[in-house]
Amino acid sequence: MKRVFSGVQPTGNIHLGNYLGALKQFVELQDENECIYCIVDLHSITVPQDPKELRKNILDVAALYLSIGIDPKKSTVFVQSDVSGHSELSWILTCNSYTGELSRMTQFKDKSKGRESAPTGLFTYPILMAADILLYDTDIVPVGNDQKQHIEICRDIAIRVNNKYKDTFVIPDGRFLKTGARIMALDDPSSKMSKSAENIHSRISLLDEDNKIKKSIMRATTDSDGEIRFDPENKPGVSNLLSIYSALSGKSIENITADFAGCGYGDFKKELVEVTKEALLPIKKNFNDIRETEELKNILRAGAEKANTIAEKTIKRVKNNFGL
């Protein structure tokens, strides 16, 4: 059995990009692998958070994990800050990484753009992420395309440590989907769908009401040539909607474009509204059923205990190999 690890930040507005790029994979992988899914709250404090809001968002993501079909009997679900090994290993890896390689991370460049001085946590974020992954001897990391560079630096650090000390870490691989790995913003298909964009119609959040889903999709940016065709370069808006349609319905893009041959964008969007509403309905229902329960907290407690058992072993091995 392979070990799978991934995480999502508790920063609100979990959207279709998060779902189709990452979360859907979490569910698919849990039958054949040993899966560990984390709510990465330590990552979220790289930017300022309101404590009350953060506490709410942590439980929201935990409830969403279960709502989309992550089964706590099969997978371990826990909150990152409940397992101290993440922070501990992060420091040890910090001492085995270089400012040069961190400076090349495009996410850091984007987030620190225009500032003379950026929060140190934003800069060292990829090291904490490497610690998250290496702490569990992870084989596979299911993530969206925007995480490719971070997976690469994680591998580099792990290989570096293995060469310098005794074999210490398992070298992980990223897992990226063909359709869904990069869902674009609905109002601007040149940037990725994100939690933080000001325009709420740029994204569909998993808990959006039907009316909001309809509004956001019907006003999504397309183009003026009127043909429903998959061509991300020249028709990024339409292609993005086709990717969403395909990933949510399970139909291939070829079949969808054949079905809608000769139709206008309006008809296609109306169908996409229906497909999206139908996909999100059970998630919203499950969320309402689980969010306020004591069971949710029990699952997180048991998850942290299981995760901690694995983490402690890794920390022990690392300390031993490093002479600590």
Which is closer to ligand ADP, CB of 151 or CB of 161?
Answer: 151
What residues contact 45, with CB distance under 8 A and at least 6 apart?
A: 54, 121
195 is catalytic: yes
- Residue 21, interface with ligand ADP (CB under 6 A)? yes
Nearer to ligand ADP, 84 or 191 (CB): 191
Which residue, 192 or 235, has its beta carbon nearer to ligand ADP?
Answer: 192
Q: Does 182 bind ligand ADP (CB under 6 A)?
A: yes
Closest separation in Å from C-beta 271 to ligand ADP: 22
Which residue out of 24, 109, 164, 192 is catalytically annotated?
192
- Verify whether residue 277 is a known catalytic residue: no
Please report whether residue 183 would count as binding ligand ADP according to CB under 6 A.
Answer: yes
Question: What character string, x for contact with ligand ADP (CB under 6 A) and - otherwise, covers 115-144?
Answer: ----------------------------xx
Q: How far is the CB of 161 from ligand ADP (least distance, A)?
A: 24
> Is residue 46 within a helix (H) or strand (E), and if so which, with residue range?
none
Q: Which of 2, 52, 73, 111 is catalytic?
A: 111
132 has binding-site annotation: yes
CA distance 42 to 53: 14
Q: Which is nearer to ligand ADP, 46 or 318 (CB)?
A: 46
- Greatest CA separation for the chain: 69
Using the 8-state DSSP alphabet, how is residue 220 labeled? -
Contacts of 116 (CB under 8 A, 6+ apart): none
Tell me which of 28, 146, 156, 223 binds ligand ADP, using CB under 6 A. 146
- The residues in 243-282 that bind ligand ADP, with binding defined as CB under 6 A, are none
DSSP alpha helix (H) spans, 165-293: 210-218, 236-249, 253-259, 265-290
Q: Is 115 exposed, middle or buried (0-12, 13-18, 19+ CB in 10 A)?
A: exposed
Question: What is the DSSP track for 101-164?
Answer: HHHT-HHHHHHHTT-SS--HHHHHHHHHHHHHHHTTT-SEEE--GGGHHHHHHHHHHHHHHHHH
Six-digit token string for 314: 């890794």
Q: Is 316 a catalytic residue?
A: no
Are the beta carbons of 13 and 212 closer than 8 angstroms?
A: no
Q: How far is the CB of 198 from ligand ADP (least distance, A)?
A: 14
Question: What residues form the annotated binding site for L-tryptophan?
Answer: 132
**Residues designated catalytic:** 111, 192, 195
What residues line the site for ligand ADP (CB under 6 A)?
A: 8-9, 11, 17-18, 21-22, 143-144, 146-147, 181-183, 192-195
Question: What residues form the annotated binding site?
Answer: 9-11, 17-18, 132, 144-146, 183, 192-196
